Chain A
Amino acid sequence: MVDRRFTACSLAVLALAGSVNCGPAGAQSQAALSVTPLSRPDAIELRRVFAGSFPSFYPSNPSPDGSLISEIDWSTGDLAVIDLEAGRLRRVTDKGPWSVSGDYAEFSVFSPDGQRMAYSWFSSESRGYQVRTIRLDGTDMRVVFPKKADVAYVAVEDWSRDATSLLVIVFRTDRTTQLGVVSVVDGSYRALKTNDWRPPSVLTFSPDSRFVAYDLARSTERSERDIFVLAADGSREVMVVGGADDNRLLGWLPDGSGILYHRRAGNESTVMALAVRDGRAVGRPQLVRPDISQMVPLGFSRDAYFYGVQVERPHVHVASVDLSAGRMVTPPVSFADPVEGASHDSAWSPDGQTVAYLVDAPGGARMILRSVTGEFRRQIQVPLSEARKTNWAPDASAVYVFGTDVEGRVGIHRVDVRSGAVTPVVARGPGGEAEGMAFWDLSPDGRTIYHRRPKASGEQHLVFEGTPKPTQEAHVIVAIDIATGATQELADVPPGRILSVSPDGQWLAFHAMNPRLAETSVLLMPSRGGPTREVYRNRGGQAMGNRSGLPWAPDGKSILFYYAPKEGPGGIWQLPVDGGAPRLVVDTKVLAAITQGENTEARNYRLSPDGRQLVFETGRSRAEIWMMSGFQAAAAK
């Protein structure tokens, strides 16, 4: 109903210059006011301004003149910019390689004059997040928001036009999320509004800095979002876009006349504009573009909106292997349908006949269950954000998945493959920390979850998938009895990521890393705790990472791991647990053939129960940046 009303309303407004006031849009109507059209679809132009492999998007923001996009150089963790004209990534900070410093940048914005950037910075020394500013030439770095005891994470979202304030989202250690303002003049912090664990996806000042717009999940049980405008002095807040649809803020129109947002209603995705005057919605939403389904919001330059699009991402492949001979039998072939989008985190069913894997989808993920013969395919909607790392229950009744459910519970959830019901198994409360639970495995009898986490040091910190972090402090391997919730700390171990249980349930294999020496090791320990034993160590090159696997062969005599040295052969290796020399099973050349040489990494590799097939994800990662312009032309008309 709302959908039709939106469409009809926007067309009418566009044709007749609008005369109806409603706000929140889609929820109620107000007195009539004259409304100038904010946009005309025929005046809006879309242009691709970048195509490449490196945008990670979430920390990104365009410069005021639209020539640069902020980014992170993940090869070092430095703050960087993409020069859109040159198509190159340029570092702004110069912290040195990971072996020297575990610091890294995250969310960033440009100052109104384009001369400086503000950014979130993880300091490995203080083990906490700061907000910093720096000139684009890398000089004059200033810490404007130091690490604080109750701040787990801080995201820089916007810089006020008067250049005095930064808008930030503070993720507090008490599991609440706070919208706040940091003064770049004196470093003072002012909390605007505190929510439960739910964070906005976009938070932005109005051009006159009197208001703040943001979106928020409708409730702790829903993923659809509404859009709010909050007075920057805290005097009032108004929901300007509500209703039944999923409404995600894109930004505040550069002339301050309203907001731009993305609306998803059923299968229809549109970009809409809504006039906002004195912090309140004016008129009905206006159609800007009817046909844009995928948008990663980056922000406005002075006159255009920039957004990202993922056009190609790795997906699940399967290859036949002969572990007795230590070789690949048939090369990898695509197992998932690439049109499904990025597919990842696959797992073999106990009988080896079905592979479950995840596909990114709005509102969470889809779990695809697909038979190896291709005769059977089923999908289950899994309302978990950041869903990853799957394991089948031994009786094949369910697949366990790590992720965050709509009520904010972070941890391992059970997806019933018959009913599709998703229930938490071992999860922290809303907004709680994963505490390394993403790196987990299930005992063969399905009774125990093993995972690893940083050893408690009194300082809380988050573990973010895909984020290289310095982890010099000890980790601890934990066993959790699923039935009772009883937790047992098995052993202190060196920092690392991966952990897997042997087929007989008697051993744990895990990896350890020493970023300073660029060394990676594979260690074993009894699953009941006991002394650890290193069975392999390498140095340099591309080694096991967050998304690697460490699967055991069915006979429990060998383990697969990934390692690609800078020189010489690399790929997925088979390592005898008795300490013998590893054998290369899947060469990176094979992976390079799949990705046209762009990527030779295999992730989340899992062996079938008979040990004859290997499923993993690989492929190119391609993204584009698009520019939407023509707002001013429309407004001027």
Chain B
Amino acid sequence: MTRSGCTVVAAFVVSAGVLAGSVIAGRERRQAPPLGLDAYLPTPEENAITAEKTRLGERLFFDTKLSADTSISCATCHQPSRAFTDGRPRSRGVFGRVTVRNTPSVLNAGYGAAFFWDGRIATLEEQVLQPIIATEEMGATLDDVVRRLRSDTGYRAAFRDALGEPPSAETIGKALATFVRTRRSAASPMDRYLDGDQSAADAQAIAGLRIFQGRARCVECHHGPLLTDGGFHNTGVGWGGADPGRARVTGEEADRGRFKTPSLRNVALTAPYMHDGSLATLEDVVEFYARGGNANPLLDTRIRPLDLSSADKRALIAYLRALTSIEYARPPSFF
């Protein structure tokens, strides 16, 4: 993405009221979250949300200085217009490298407790630094990035204002985490329907909700405000490939093939799907679960063939499309 393109996107991010976070200059001010989300947003005491920190984190998020060859930024893969994903099966990093996994959205990531598809990182402050140093992603070193930022007078001032310290791995992590944490997105048609607005969702989507929570049992793993249990499950996606999933973190064979349950908010915007981006459309995803996933010895016992008619599947997809947040209901030309 070009720098000017980043600026346009950044303007969108800040201008969209729902996404703009809930801070005022210099101190934290809690505002009501978008409809459908919890007021409680886990935030470390040592990294309270401030406007200055959020702005600094936003600037870093869109800055290509954070990559080894200054060719990409966080926003290259986490594009706001695509609900902070990139539309590719697997992400592309510096020097044309391709990662092994699909880009997850950062929207509402602040509510999470384990990050990356395998849950290997426990805090957002730590997570946001990992793509910077990952060889197949931004491929930089933190020392290099810190040096670049310290040589920039604007950044020095911004870090001083926001964190009272010069750029460092810790302060970069805090600022980026604050920006990501304040990307809250909800108020979808389904949220409005569940809040009592009977006209917010159509009959097919409402039927899909019932199938989702009933016969299809999607709710077993996709529940709560983010429609995820935050857990790790083996659905058979990518089984037999090189990626061991959660087992790489725990060392437990039983965790082989398990990956984190993704949030379904804005899922209509985040194709392709699954941790390896192997399913191109929502239709493919519904068909995948309807047939009971991919058989393997460690398949989650909750994954079983579903008796779904074509109408049921269409209803499920209508429900999933009704999970698109209010800011993404704007005309595409807005982007």
Q: Interface on A for B, CB 8 Å cutoff?
A: 146, 148-150, 172-176, 178, 189-194, 196, 230-231, 233-237, 429, 456, 458, 460
Contacts and interface: CB of A to CB of B under 8 A. Distances in A.
Contact of A148 (B196, B206, B224): B196
B32 interface: yes
Contacts of B41: 234
Is chain A's interface secondary structure helix, strand, loop, or mixed overall?
A: loop
Given A146-B196, A175-B223, A193 B213 contact: no
Nearest to B219: A174
B30 A233 contact: yes
A429 B220 contact: yes
In the complex, which of the residues B40, B42, B210 has the most CB atoms of chain A within 10 Å of its own CB atom?
Answer: B40
20 contacts: A148-B194, A148-B196, A173-B213, A175-B219, A176-B224, A191-B38, A193-B39, A194-B38, A194-B224, A196-B229, A230-B40, A231-B30, A234-B30, A234-B38, A234-B40, A234-B41, A235-B30, A236-B45, A237-B42, A460-B214
Contacts of A196: 224, 229
B195 A193 contact: no
A124 B39 CA distance: 32
Given A148-B196, A178-B38, A191-B38, 9 more contacts: A146-B196, A176-B223, A191-B36, A191-B39, A192-B39, A192-B40, A193-B38, A194-B38, A460-B213
Given A193-B39, A194-B224, A429-B220, A174 B213 contact: yes
B109 to A, nearest CB: 16
Contacts of A173: 213
Contacts of A235: 28, 30, 43
Contact of B194 (A149, A194, A231): A149
Interface in B209-243: 209-210, 213-214, 217, 219-220, 223-225, 229
Nearest to A147: B196
Nearest to B230: A196
Interface in B184-207: 193-196, 206
A606 B36 CA distance: 49
B39 A150 contact: no
In the complex, which of the residues B28, B33, B193, B220 has the most CB atoms of chain A within 10 Å of its own CB atom?
Answer: B220
A470 B103 CA distance: 50
Contact of B214 (A149, A150, A233, A456): A456
B100 interface: no
A231 B43 CA distance: 12
A237 B39 CA distance: 11
Interface in B259-276: none
B225 A191 contact: yes
Contacts, number: 64
A176 B209 CA distance: 15
B10 interface: no
A234 B111 CA distance: 12
Nearest to B209: A149
Which 6 residue pairs are nearest across A and B when measured between Cβ atoms? A234-B39, A174-B223, A233-B30, A234-B40, A193-B40, A150-B194
Contact of A234 (B33, B194, B195, B219): B33
A233 B210 CA distance: 32
Given A149-B193, A149-B194, A236-B45, A192 B219 contact: no
A150 B41 CA distance: 22
A474 B231 CA distance: 37
A543 to B, nearest CB: 33
A456 B210 CA distance: 11
Nearest to A191: B38
A190 B194 contact: no
Contacts of A231: 30, 40
A458 B210 contact: yes
A467 to B, nearest CB: 23
Contacts of B42: 237
B80 to A, nearest CB: 24
A190 B30 CA distance: 13
A193 B225 CA distance: 9
Contacts of A456: 214
Given A149-B194, A150-B194, A458-B210, A190 B219 contact: no
A192 B210 contact: no
Contacts of B38: 178, 191-194, 234
A233 B193 contact: no
B37 interface: yes
Contact of B40 (A150, A176, A237, A460): A237
A148 B195 contact: yes
A236 B41 CA distance: 7
Nearest to B28: A235
A605 to B, nearest CB: 36
Contacts of A150: 194
A41 B210 CA distance: 54
B224 A189 contact: no
Contacts of B225: 191, 194
